[in-house]
Amino acid sequence: MELLSFRNVTKWFDGPDGRVIAVRDVNFSVNKGEFVAVRGPSGCGKTTLLLMAGTLLKPSEGSIFIEETNPYELEYESRCRFRAGKIGFVFQQFFLIPYLSVLENVMVPAGAYPRKDARERAMQLIQKLNLEPRTNHVPSQLSAGECQRTALARALFNEPQLLLADEPTGNLDRSNSEIVLNILKDFAKSGGTVLLVTHQEYAASYADRTLFMEAGVIHEKV
């Protein structure tokens, strides 16, 4: 069953030098429980694709569905709640809040989607990702791998259906990359859905299926 579907999606940006088409007439879907990678060079439109999938950037043309809902047809507040309840994000730059501890960073999604067991849920994830000794540390006291695991715990906090990962191993060594990619793979095996965008063949090899992107266009093969 499809969880995420792109239907004739195009995204352009108008600037002083004219129109730039970042994503061009994209059609693909990701099934529930599937781990799909989109691989391509920098500047090919991968991040734009991911932001549209995450309900953060409206397509210029075409439609995106998560299950049977087009989130861009929802009012702003409803779309925010929809995103908070169904989607988790992992980015190359981590985007942790620098003055919050690991525990507090993991609990950030509770601000948009409150839950009574927020602290308990956060501690479960911290333990699962072997971050317990760092629970009260701030990001500046963490290694890159620990920062990314904290970001993963935050992404998993609300038990999302869809996990979106933008170059999550781009700043990591091989050992930490393996940890992060195995967490993504385990999430899909447990019934979650993963869309990973990357330029790395190694990272894409963890996916069930790889699509290739070049100049805003999706290809099934290189």
pLDDT, tens only, 143-188: 999 999 999 999 999 999 999 999 999 888 898 899 989 999 999 9
Cross-strand partners of 217: 214
Tokens matching residue 6: 């792109």
Q: Note the residue count of the chain.
A: 222
Residue numbers of the chain with a pLDDT score lower than 70? 221-222
- Tell me if the pTM is above 0.85: yes
The Cα 114–Cα 75 span in angstroms is: 20
The Cα 120–Cα 172 span in angstroms is: 28
Count Cβ neighbours within 10 Å for each residue of 131-164 and write b for 16 or more, e otherwise: beebeeebbeebeebbbbbbbbbbbbbbebbbbb
Nearest to 181 by CA among 107, 45, 85, 90: 90
Residue 79 phi/psi, 5-degree rounding, is -65, -40
> So what CATH class is 34-58+75-219?
alpha beta
Residue 36 has a pLDDT of: 97
Residue 127 has a pLDDT of: 94
Residue 16 has a pLDDT of: 87
Residue 111 has a pLDDT of: 82
Helices 144-156 and 118-128: crossing angle, nearest 10°? 140
Amino acid at the residue 214: E
Q: Give the Å distances, CA to CA, from 120 to 53, 152, 157.
A: 29, 16, 10
Find all residues with CB under 8 Å of 175, minimum gap 6, and list them. Answer: 145
**Domain parsing of the chain, residue ranges:** 34-58+75-219
Residue 170 has a pLDDT of: 87
